[in-house]
Amino acid sequence: MLNEINWPVEYLPGTTDNFASNEVIVKDLKAVDVWPYLTHATVWEKYYSNSSDAQYKEEGKDELYPNAPFFFKTFGFPIDAEIVEFEAPKNGIARIAWHGWAEGDADHRLDVIHAWLLEELPGNRLRILTQESQIGKPAAEMAGTNTMIDGHQSWLYGLVKAAQEKLEY
């Protein structure tokens, strides 16, 4: 039985304007190998082309932590974000999720939950699941396209490569 993302009710997939789900299963990686490449937001742009300008809002911080406020740009949107779930690897499972939003009028506001699940599987395999549930007109305009699916699959492949190659963070 595989684990699932924990969703706040208002972001439950199938009830929002857009939803994307991507995963990979890879051999010879553990949750602890991948975790730092998710929690160091400033390294994302080194392995994922849709991320840039990550900044920690609390002075002196260099990685994400429970309730951490941060900022980054993705898919052309400036995103203010806050960590809403943070479970470091334990017993082969790890979870991180953030609430992100782009301010604006009704035509431009975007509100999302982006969640990640790392799950060690039998046979020295690691499942990496990422899902994003979105609310807002920009999200509705992306629904039915492969924009988020393709972008997040690229993120997954870059994440795996970064962990395999032990990219400096």
Domains located in the chain, CATH noted: 15-165 (3.30.530.20)
Instruction: State pLDDT tens for residues 25-69.
Output: 999 999 999 999 999 999 999 999 999 999 999 999 999 999 999
Instruction: Looking at 17-136, list the stretches that DSSP marks H as alpha helix, in order from N- to C-terminal side.
Output: 31-39, 44-47
Q: What is the pLDDT of residue 106?
A: 87
* pLDDT of 96: 98
**Six-digit token pair at 96?**
């991180």
pLDDT band at 72 (very low <50, low <70, confident <90, very high): very high
Q: What is the pLDDT at residue 1?
A: 64
| The predicted structure's pLDDT at residue 19 | 97
44 DSSP 8-state letter: H
In 3D, which of 47, 46, 81 has the Cα closest to residue 64? Answer: 81
pLDDT at 169: 87
Residue 2: per-residue pLDDT: 81
Here the tokens at position 160 are 């795996």
**Of 36, 37, 85, 83, residue with least CA distance to 56:** 83
pLDDT in tens, 109-153: 999 999 999 999 999 999 999 999 999 999 999 998 999 999 999
Q: d(Cα 34, Cα 51) in Å, to the nearest integer? A: 17
